[in-house]
A and B are shown apart, each in its own frame.
Chain A
Amino acid sequence: MDWMTLAIEITGIAIICVWIVIPVHEFRGIMARVRHKPNLADPAGGFEVKPAEPIDPSNPSGERH
């Protein structure tokens, strides 16, 4: 193999190596962060439940004006 092709091949191999090692490390970090995120699309997975607001006696229907 000539030196020019060799240089291009080594660059390609280096890119593959770097892009295996670092993204795997980054992916582990992502998994650690998102694992405990609540599932908003699935009520069984845990919608955030807000406490009921007290009823205002002057506006019992709760309409906003």
Chain B
Amino acid sequence: MTGLDYGIVISFLTLMALGGFWISRLIKDSDDFFVAGRELTPFILAATITATNVSMFHFVGMGGTAYSSGVSIIWQNWTGCMALILSGCFVLPFMRRLRIRSVPEFLELRYNRGLRTLVGAFWGIRLCFYLGLLLNLAGTTAIIITGWDNYAAWLLIFSLIAIIYSVVGGAWAVAIMDSWQFLLMIAGALIVLPIAMHLCGGLPKLIEFFKTSDPQHVQLVPQSGDKSWIFIFSILLLSIKWSMIDQAILQRAFGAKSPRVGAKGMILSALITMPLAFFWVLPGLAVAKLHPGKFPTDNDAIPWLLRTQLPLVAKGLLGFVLAGLVAAQISPITSDVNSVATLFTSDVYRTLKRREPTQRELLFVVRITSLLSGLLMLFVAWFLQYGKTGAVNVNLMIVGLLDMPLFVITVIYGLGWKRVNWQGALAGFIGGGLVGLAGYAIWPVGFARNCAPIVSGFGALVIAPIASLMTQHRERVAEAEAIRAAMNPSGADAEGDDFHFVPQSPIGKLGLLFIAIGFLAFLIGVLSAHWGQAIAAPFAVGGMLATFLGGIIRVYSV
């Protein structure tokens, strides 16, 4: 790293801070801070959702996995895009129509206030822990790329600007600055790909090289191996869960101007993320050819490419790409800090208070919680330097045990079956987690961790209805009617939006048909890889593209 490189990164960070302060003048009430005043438009929404989704993990982690296991890691991203289409068509618009700010708020509407407070507090703490992990990855990667071995300084560089403009500018600053960070992130990726491809003789030659030396490295849907069809199927389930209940993603989409705009934002985000996945997977593949010897960890592959090759091309290039990586990391941090603050303020503080707080009080509390969650993130990241593996495993364990039960009670029973009551939801949430935990007592840890989402989700699916049928059902008529009206309004809703769960026009129904056929073709393709069928990759990719086409038709028709 030269002085010019450091200068570029510092200039970028200064611009981000100034931009955040300038945007803070848009904050005039708590809804501005939580959901950007529900004024976001489709393209800004798509940019902020993409920037929230894409972090340094994609460039470094996915590139590193492509280096070691091959191109099929790209499905981690592509299944996420398909899940965004499903959420954009079938879940998000109706939650947005209810004018909620968080997923726990939906739980209060559907079940009761206690469940909202419980889930809000749990989720807030979990996100702080996850933020610490994100920050730790950013710090350790920056050390490898730059050679400047000062962990504390990198933590401060990545977090201080993010914390400052999250505290001052809230969701407005997150949304607008995410849009610019999204552009810088792509610009950095646009530089790295051609350099990597040039070094290994071009993409066609790279594919030919692996077809003769290690065919599985370039198989999109492998029959066996670490990232086989089973991985693709599992990651699809987790992606669906993520796109439908993840607070950071949904909170951005709740900021949409209307339900249909929210749906458009999610579909556009899926469309742009799909081709972008090539930018972080292909350089990893190139490193596998350029550096056949093993790195200490897979995460070292992309930093090695950047550190050794970019300075040879032009001065300042490494600084520009590093600024793109910093941008990629700051946007999920700011989004998650904003989400944690929303959860603690809206779902914990507000529900525990006897009287409704004033706007001024809410804004004060949400800013304080933004600051505290940022400090907690720094605290977690600092201690992760002494024992990261254990912390990562604990995080994976908690995600595996409790996220799928939450998805089951929120989306499957929350929207799908009104007989499930709050006792059933609570029993499903906790019981599902305990069933998953039992797996750790029976199976080896690695296997139990991989199966935990399926086992805990299945546990919640069974326990919630049983507990509901065993307890008294007191129908919440007004709330049930509000949810029903949100999914199928008679004509346009109060905001003049006419997005329905089932499309009203023949074109809209055609879009739905494309989604159904595409998704089915994708599943056939992935599952056929079990028998080593040649149709696996064409069906999986074709199905994904048909799902995208159906999504576009659906959200742009009545």
Residues on A close to B: CB < 8 A? Answer: 1-5, 8-9, 11-13, 15-16, 18-20, 22-23, 26-27, 29-30, 33-34, 37-43, 45
Contact = CB atoms under 8 A, between A and B. Distances in A.
B398 interface: no
B488 interface: no
Interface string B282-318: 1000000000000000000000000000000000000
A18 B198 CA distance: 27
Contact of B194 (A3, A9, A34, A37): A9
B29 interface: yes
A22 to B, nearest CB: 4
B44 A34 contact: no
Interface string B70-100: 0000000000000000000000000000000
Contacts of A3: 204
Given A12-B190, A16-B186, A41 B276 contact: no
Interface in B235-293: 272, 275-276, 278-279, 282
A2 B363 CA distance: 53
A11 B360 contact: no
A15 B272 CA distance: 7
B186 A9 contact: no
B142 interface: no
B179 A19 contact: yes
- Please indicate which of the listed interface residues A22, A30, A34 has the most CB atoms of chain B within 10 Å of its own CB: A30
Contacts of A20: 183
Interface stretch (B35-43, B380-388, B459-467, B496-504): B35-43
Given A15-B272, A19-B179, A20-B183, A8 B279 contact: yes
B176 A16 contact: no
Contact of A12 (B42, B203, B205, B279): B279
A45 B29 CA distance: 11
B182 interface: yes
B221 interface: no
Interface of B: 26-30, 37, 39-44, 46-47, 176, 179, 182-183, 186-187, 189-190, 193-194, 197-198, 202-205, 272, 275-276, 278-279, 282, 359-360, 363
Contact of B275 (A5, A15, A29): A15
B194 A1 contact: yes
23 contacts: A4-B204, A5-B193, A5-B194, A5-B202, A5-B203, A9-B190, A11-B275, A12-B190, A15-B275, A15-B276, A16-B183, A18-B43, A19-B46, A19-B182, A19-B272, A26-B44, A30-B39, A30-B40, A30-B41, A37-B28, A37-B37, A40-B28, A42-B28
Nearest to A2: B202
B37 A13 contact: no
Given A16-B187, A40-B28, A42-B360, A8 B39 contact: no
Contacts of B202: 1-2, 4-5
Contacts of A9: 190, 193-194
A2 B278 CA distance: 15
Contact of B26 (A1, A34, A43, A45): A34
B465 to A, nearest CB: 41
A28 B336 CA distance: 26
